[in-house]
Amino acid sequence: MSLHSQSSGRASAQAAGGPATVGLTLAKVGALVVLAALLAVPFLLYPVFLMKVLCFALFACAFNLLIGFGGLLSFGHAAFFGSAAYVTAHAVKEWGWSPELGVLLGTLAGAVLGLLFGMIAIRRQGIYFAMITLALSQMVYFLALQLPFTHGEDGIQAVPRGVLFGLFDLHNPLAMYYTVLGVFLIGFAIIWRTVHSPFGQVLKAIRENEARAISLGYRTDRYKLLAFVLSASLAGLAGGTKAIVFQLATLTDVTWQMSGEVVLMTLLGGMGTLTGPVIGAALVVTLENYLAATSLPVPVVIGCIFVACVLVFRRGIAGEIAARFGNQKQGS
C-alpha cells in the first residue's frame, strides 16, 4: 500500500512544489513500515505460503506492466512463467548450477521467448493481440508436454534448492523466504523505475492514444516490444524463483489457466496501479490455499468474487481505494 502512496506522493510532488516534501516523507515512512512487516511476517505465517504469494505477486506485477501501463492484454504470460520454471529447474537439477545462476537463466529464457512472442504479437491490437499471445503460449504448452526434458505430466521434480552465492543454505525456510523477498523487491523496483521513467510516460501515451504518439514521432512498436520483453523477463524471474521455492516445475505453470489466473489477480487488485497486482495475488493465493482444505469449490468462490469485482468495484481494490481518496491520477 505504502509503495502506492509513495508513487502518488511523487506524482503530487511533480504537480505542486509545496506539500511534496511532506508527502515524500510520509511515503518513505509508509514504505519502511511495509518493509519491516515483510521482514517480520515469516515468523507469524507459514513461509512457503508467503513465498508463493510473493512469486505470484511479482508475476502479476510483470503482467500489469504490460496491460496497466502499455494497454496490451497478453493472454499468454504463463508461457514465460512456466518456461522459465522449466529452464531454471533443468539448469539447477541436471547441470548442477547454483540457484542464482539458474534463476538468471530462467529470466533470460523468459526474455528470449518474450522477444519472439512480442515481435509477432505487437503487429496487431486488442483482441487479436490477445489471441496471438494465447496461441503462441499454447504452442509452448504442447512443447512442454512433449519435450523429453520436461518429463510430461510429472514435471521436473526434486530440484535442489542449493546454496545461494555459496553462502546461504536455501533449505532453511527463512533464508529461502528472504531470498524470494529480495527477488520480489528487485523486480518491483525495476517496475517502479520503468513506470516513472520517460519510457514509462511514453508507454502510457501509447496506451491512451497510439496514433497521437506516432504523430509525435515515437516509434511505438519499439516501445511496445521493449515493454513486452521486460514484462516477459520479469514473469520469467517469478517463474524461475517459484521453481526453486517449490523444487519442481510442472505443466500447471504453462497452462492457459495460469495466464487467466494472472489476469484475474491483476484485475481484482487494480489494473494500472503499482500495488494492485500484489494485493490481487495475495488475495487469490490466500483463497486458494485456505479454501483447498474446505469442501467449498475454489474456482466457484473466486469466480463469484470476480463477478462482484466487475459489477461493484471495477477499478480493482487498489484502484478503488486510490479513487476514493482523491488520487484519481493513480487509477488512470
Partner 1 sequence: MIARLLAGAALAALTIGVMSTGPAMAQQGKLSGDMVKIGVLNDRSGLYADLGGEGSAIAARMAAEEFGNKILGKPIEIITADHQNKPDIGSNLARQWIDQDGVDAIVDVPNSGVALAVQEVTKEKKKIFLMEGPATSRLTGDACSPTGFHWAYDTRALAVGTGQAIVKEGGDSWFFITADYAFGHQLEADTSAEVKKAGGKIVGSVKAPLNTADFSSFLLQAQASGAKIVGLANAGGDTITSIKQASEFGLTQSGQQKLAGLLIFLSDVHALGLQVAQDLVLTTGFYWDRDDETRAWSKKFFDRYGKMPTMVQAGSYSAVRHYLKAIEAAGTDDGPTVAAKMKEMPVNDMFAKNGTILPNGRMVHDMYLARVKKPSESKGAWDYYQILRTIPGKEAFATFEESGCKLPK
Nearer to partner 1, 250 or 266 (CB): 250
Nearer to partner 1, 248 or 271 (CB): 248
Distance, C-alpha 221 to centroid of its chain: 22
Binding-site member from 16, 17, 40, 326 for partner 1 (CB under 8 A): 40
Stretches 29-37, 92-100, 103-111, 190-198: which one binds partner 1 (CB under 8 A)? 29-37
Residue 227 and residue 114: Cα distance in Å, rounded?
A: 10
Nearer to partner 1, 43 or 165 (CB): 43
49 touching partner 1, by CB under 8 A: yes
Could you tell me the smallest distance in angstroms from the CB atom of residue 23 to partner 1? 17
Show the site string, 178-197: x = touches partner 1 by CB under 8 A, - = not. x-------------------
Could you tell me the smallest distance in angstroms from the CB atom of residue 167 to partner 1? 11
158 touching partner 1, by CB under 8 A: yes
Do residues 31 and 25 lie in contact, with contact meaning Cβ atoms separated by under 8 Å? no
Binding-site member from 19, 152, 299, 303 for partner 1 (CB under 8 A): 152
Closest CA to 230 of 182, 193, 275, 185: 193
**Ranges within 55-94 binding partner 1 (CB under 8 A):** none
Could you tell me the smallest distance in angstroms from the CB atom of residue 298 to partner 1? 10
Binding-site member from 44, 293, 311, 312 for partner 1 (CB under 8 A): 293
**Ranges within 84-143 binding partner 1 (CB under 8 A):** none
Binding-site member from 74, 241, 250, 259 for partner 1 (CB under 8 A): 250
Count of CA atoms in the C-beta half-sphere (13 A) of 86: 27
* Residue-wise burial string across 294-307, b where 16 or more C-beta atoms lie within 10 A, e elsewhere: eeeeeeeebeeeee
Three-class DSSP category at 236: helix
* Residue-wise burial string across 211-226, b where 16 or more C-beta atoms lie within 10 A, e elsewhere: eebeeeebebeebbbb
Closest CA to 76 of 125, 119, 123, 139: 139
46 touching partner 1, by CB under 8 A: yes
Q: What is the 3-state secondary structure (H, E, C) of 244-288?
A: HHHCCECHHHHCHHHHHHHHHHHHHHCCCCCCHHHHHHHHHHHHH
Do residues 28 and 49 lie in contact, with contact meaning Cβ atoms separated by under 8 Å? no
Nearer to partner 1, 1 or 108 (CB): 1
Strand partners, 249: 156
Nearer to partner 1, 126 or 297 (CB): 297
Tell me the site size for partner 1, rule CB under 8 A.
32
Nearer to partner 1, 169 or 208 (CB): 169
Residue 265 and residue 306: Cα distance in Å, rounded?
A: 9
Could you tell me the smallest distance in angstroms from the CB atom of residue 182 to partner 1? 10
* Residues engaged in binding partner 1 (CB under 8 A): 32, 35-36, 39-40, 42-43, 46, 48-49, 52, 145, 151-155, 157-158, 172-175, 178, 246-248, 250, 252-253, 292-293
